[in-house]
Structure formats: structure tokens, C-alpha cells
A and B are shown apart, each in its own frame.
Chain A
Amino acid sequence: MTKYIIRRFIGLFPTILVIITISFFIIRAAPGGPFDSEKTLPKQIQENIEKKYHLDEPVIKQYARYMLSIIRGDLGPSYRYKDQDVNYYIAKSIPNSLFLGAISMIIAVVFGITAGMISALRQNTWIDYLSMSVAVIGITIPLFVTGPVLVYFFAMKLNWFPTSGWITGRYGWTTLVLPVITLSFNNFAYIARLTRASILEIMRSDFIRTARAKGLKTSVILFRHVLKGAMLPVVSYLGPAFSAVLTGSVVVETIFRVPGMGKFFIQSALNRDYTLILGTVIVYSVILVIMNFIVDIVYAYLDPRISYK
């Protein structure tokens, strides 16, 4: 097992390297430089700016310079905001994004598994139909529709929650409700459906019949035998779920004006602030890659059929 973990961990680095390289060269291949603006600057000034940010060097040298500074943990200066560097902006915004993402993920998993379990155990009753209808809605409607519609009804018409803002603002914790619902709805729906389907499948299998025939209590069968097996597909869905939360947070942070990294990411992409884009993409990828790694390990741990050599 330890060997497997170490091997997988070493495998993370090439992926991160590929991501940084691809993003770096996409950005360098773009027509026009980051300092092109409406008014043309005098040639000397333009050259001085390019010299300051080493843009006059060959691309390979710039790449090497960038990689070296990343290894030192420095994501470079921002091209647009002169007062602080990329590290500062990311450090300032990432706790908010992580907090929002983590809460949404936990809520999606807890409620999704509960709803799926209830549906499976009360198959073909009203509660099953209800939760599966909600799940179908959650899978179908994209979150950039859910978000504005929730804001319209629950913030503007019913006035239950604020339309936007963050916990540090004057509305406090109530600002979290709508963004978290929006961000977790999709994943909740997927997890509920997966849980229901896999519980139903396992309930029909031979080893459950054996357990019943031995006279085990229903609760023991359910928690010791059924749930353990039923969690495997759910765990393997967690990887894509993390990635959905990551991309989704970009939209949710835009709709609800959360001061998180997603907002910075979109803004810097639109501003062509090259170093800030690269910085946010690298941080996003590292988070995603590490999450996938953890999910893989948990999966290998849970599934006795996987041999980790």
C-alpha cells in the first residue's frame, strides 16, 4: 500500500508540470502582448516595460525563469496590479474559495448519500419518487441557471437571504446559504442517484441473501455489508465532483460576488493579466490533482479487489 501511495504521489509531478507548461505556452502564443493598450506608448517606454518583466528574452528562457521562480514558491509580479504580487492576491482569496468549496462538497456528500439511502430502502414510495425527481432536476439544470433563479425567488422576492456578499460582510453567515445550495446541487443529485442505484444492486446480490439467511439483523446487514460496498461508486465519483466544484465555483463566485479565486481568475483572464492567470491555474490544478490523488488512495483502500503493486 505504501509503495502504491508513493508511486502515485511521484506521478503527480509530471501532471502538474504538463499543466504549467501548457498554460504557459497557450498564453505566450496569444496575439498581442500584455501591455498593448489603446494608446501606443513611446517605443523606449515599451521596451523598458518589457525589459522589466523579461519579456524581451527568448520564450524558452522566460519559461526556465518562470519554472525556477515557481520552485522557490514565487508566482511572480502581477502585470496589472502594481502594488502587490500574484502570491498576495491568491493568498488573500483562496481561503474563501476553499471554505465555500469544502462546505458545498460536504453538504453534497452527506445529503446525497442520505437521500440515496432513503430512496433505495423505501423504493417506489412517494419519498423515493420525490428525492429522485429532485435529483433529476439537479442533474439537468446547470448551476448558472439555478443560481440566478434562487436569488430571484429567495433573495429578491421572499427576502430570506441576501442576494450577494460574504460572511465578513454585514449579513454574516446567511450569505453562505444560496451559494452553497447552488454549488452543491449538481453533486448532491449525482451522488443521490449513484447511492440509490448501487445500494439496490447490492441488495440483490448473493452475499446479502446469505447474510439474511444467517438471521443477521437488518441494521447490521445495512451498515456492515450493503453500505460498505455501495460507497465504492460514490467514492470514485468524488474526483469528477471536486473538479465540478472547482469550475462551478468560478460561476458561483461571479453570481454571488464572493471575494474568492474564481472571481480573480475570470477578471485576470479578461484583463490579460498573464502572471495572475498562470498563478490561479497552477493553484487550481494543484488542488485538483491532490484531490484526485486522495480519492484514488481512498478507493484503493476501500476496494479489496484492487491490488496495489
Chain B
Amino acid sequence: MIKEKSAVLPVNEFNQPDKGVSLTLDAWRRLKKNHMAMAGLVLVIFFILISVLAPVLPIYSYTEQVIDHQYLPPSLTKNAGQLYYERTLGQMNALAEKEKRDLNQEELAALEQIKYRIANETAVINGKEVKVHERRYLFGTDYLGRDMLARVIYGGQISIAIGFVGTITSVLIGIVLGAIAGYLGGKVDYIIMRIVDVIYGLPYMMLVIIFMAIFGRNIINLFVALAVVSWLTVARVVRGQIMSLKNSEFVEAARSSGASTTRIIFRHLLPNTLGVIIVFSTLRIPTFIMLEAFLSFLGLGISAPLASWGSLVGHAVDGMNLYPWRLFFPAAAMTLFLFGMNFLGDGLRDAFDPQGKNKF
């Protein structure tokens, strides 16, 4: 068996079987050696898993408001009832101390009532009757008593989805226009590239802000606004790749055997530039997430009750002295994900392009 196999495989000068290594496999090997990139990959997979599994994870609804639980600090050990009681007691004590007296009858009665409510009050959430004050908020709550953990997870879901879908849309537009410009050349190329140049020169974030402010804040508009301005670099990269490939022998062969222009572009040229495009897309995703977060931060992106990391950070800026957890959890989640994506993107670029031929 073994003999037969080695007879089939080509052998190198040291008489070892010379197995062909595909470009992707080669890149994967180099990527595995890059510890930062692997750490980034693990982080990214972790975030994506959490976002995808959000509906089945044991977390609260991100829209559920419990008015008694406004601004509860994050806590691992205490449940909402204890925190609520402690806070009310603290407020009463502070007031009493200011007026230099002990707690009066009214206040003690109010405390007793809160104790009773904490022990017995129930509410119907998701069709189930639950004891409200036994909820636990690992990340604290916001100004409407909503669970920050759920909001950070669902916000991440939206941010990550926008990052991926937006990148795919803009990359598709860029691929098609870049490939057409690169392959056809001449007038078509000139027109497409002039459009790219003009849009490059625009303060496009300003135009996106105007667009969002005027046409209303919803996800569709956000996608349109961001996709329209972000295909430019992809188009340039793809055009360059196609131009360098279009005079090679395999394209000549395809053309001489009668393949149509569309077929040559999409079946022969594009697959050969795929590596570059994938790497480039990975590098684009964090930019896209940042753009969306930037708009949401200004109040021009996602609208309530939906949340994204950007809008969570934006809302947290007011009152962050008193309720810093509202700022730190979404900010930390976003930062971690961006770190992961950046390390992964850099690693992929180095892996696919070890000589640094295509530093964008």
C-alpha cells in the first residue's frame, strides 16, 4: 500500500513525498503560527457565538423595563431586591443624617413595605410569572431598569451584523465595478475611476450624517448610506488585481476558446483575486462597525428600542459619573471585538501575503 502511494506521489530531491500545498492551506499554516491572530480569531468566534446564540442564552429580554430597578449597579452576588433595598435605605439614611435625626415612622414603614414587596411581588415576563426582585443584573441596569447584559449582547448582535452585512454589500459593489473597470479599461474604466476619485474627495461622513438626519433613522437607510460610500477602496484594489492578471495566459486561453467577457471576469479572473478580497474584507469589518457606532453615538443610527454598541455608549455619556457601568460594559465589549478583528485581519494579511506585496 505505502509503496504504491509513494510511487504515485511526486518525490522531491530528498526522496520525500512532495505533497502539493494549496494557497489557502499554506496561509492557514502561517496564520496558526501567529499567536496574536489566533487570539483574535478565538475572540471573534466567541463574540459571534454569543450573538448567534443570544435568543437561547439564559439572559433577560433587552426591552423588559422594571421601573424599580433603574440604575442598579452590576453585582455578582446580590440580587436586584437586595440592591434596591440597600439603595433606598442609603438614600433615607443620607436624608436623615442631613436633617440630623433617626429614621422616622413613615420611612420605616416604607422600608417594611419594600421588604414585603421584594419578597412577594411577581410580574409576568414572557408569559411566565416570575419574582421580579430575584432577577440578577451582572452588568447592572440602565435608566429604564433594563438589563445591561442583555442590551450589550443584543447591541453586539446588531453591531456585528451591520459590520458583516455592510462589508459584504460594499465589497460586492466594489468587486463588480472594480472588475468591470479593470477588465474593460478605456472609457468605462475612466468614468468609474473618476467617480471613485470624486467620492474620495468628499467629506463623506458629513454627507452620511445629513442623509441619516433627513431621511430618518432606520437600519435600511443606515446600510444604504454606509454602503454607498464604502465600496471605493475595494473597487480600486480589485481593479488593480484584475489589471495585473488580465494579460496572463489562462485568460488568453479562455478568450481564444470563446468565453464571454462576463464569464472571463466572474469565472476566471475573480476567483484568482479572492484571497486578496477576503483579507481586505476582514480588515474592513471593524471600520464598518466603527462607522455605525459613530452614527449611533450621535443619535443618527439605530433607533430605540433597538441598541447597538455605539448607541449604548452614546446614551451612557450623560450621567457616567454616577452610573459608569453603562459606559464601560458596552465600550469594553466593542473594544475587545475590534481588537480581535484587527489582529485577525493583520494576521490574515500577513498569512496570505507573506512578502507584503499588497499592503493596502
Contact = CB atoms under 8 A, between A and B. Distances in A.
A142 B293 contact: yes
Contacts of B293: 142, 144
Contacts of A246: 203, 206
Contact of A152 (B202, B210, B321): B321
A140 to B, nearest CB: 5
Nearest to B213: A269
Nearest to A141: B335
Nearest to B194: A14
A22 B286 CA distance: 28
Interface stretch (B13-21, B27-35, B85-93, B308-316): B308-316
A284 interface: yes
B191 interface: no
B69 to A, nearest CB: 23
Contacts of A255: 317
Chain B interface, >50% SS class: helix
A202 B334 CA distance: 36
Nearest to B331: A145
B334 A145 contact: yes
8 contacts: A18-B202, A19-B201, A23-B210, A152-B324, A247-B294, A269-B210, A269-B300, A270-B213
Chain A interface, >50% SS class: helix
A148 B299 contact: no
Given A22-B207, A27-B210, A140-B338, 9 more contacts: A15-B202, A144-B310, A151-B320, A246-B206, A251-B294, A266-B209, A270-B213, A281-B207, A288-B201
A17 B319 CA distance: 43
Interface in B305-360: 310, 313-314, 316-317, 320-321, 324, 327-328, 331, 334-335, 338-339, 342
Contacts of A141: 335, 338
A15 B201 contact: yes
Contacts of A258: none
A93 interface: no
Nearest to B318: A148
Contact of B207 (A14, A15, A26, A243): A26
A284 B207 contact: no
Interface string A240-266: 000100110011001100000000011
A187 interface: no
B313 A145 contact: yes
A30 interface: yes
Nearest to B290: A142
Interface residues of A, number: 42
Contact of B313 (A31, A136, A148, A243): A148
Nearest to B298: A266
A196 interface: no
A258 to B, nearest CB: 15
Which size bracket describes the interface of B in this complex?
35 or more
A292 B206 CA distance: 17
A234 to B, nearest CB: 15
A277 interface: yes
A247 B203 contact: yes
Contacts of A284: 203, 206
Interface string B282-297: 0000100010011001
What are the 5 tightest A-B residue pairs by CB atom distance, in nearest-first order?
A269-B213, A30-B214, A247-B205, A144-B297, A145-B331
Q: Which of B202, B314, B342 has the most CB of A within 10 A?
A: B202
Given A18-B198, A144-B297, A281 B203 contact: yes
Q: Which of B202, B206, B316 has the most CB of A within 10 A?
A: B206
A144 B313 contact: yes
A226 interface: no
A139 B300 CA distance: 24
A15 B210 contact: no
A289 interface: yes
A285 interface: yes
Interface string A113-146: 0000000000000000000000010011110110
B211 interface: yes
Contact of B202 (A19, A30, A272): A19
Q: Which of B210, B286, B294, B328 has the most CB of A within 10 A?
A: B210
A149 interface: yes
B116 interface: no
B213 A23 contact: no
A144 B290 CA distance: 10
Contacts of B314: 144
A106 interface: no
A142 B294 contact: yes
A280 B214 CA distance: 15
A292 B202 CA distance: 11
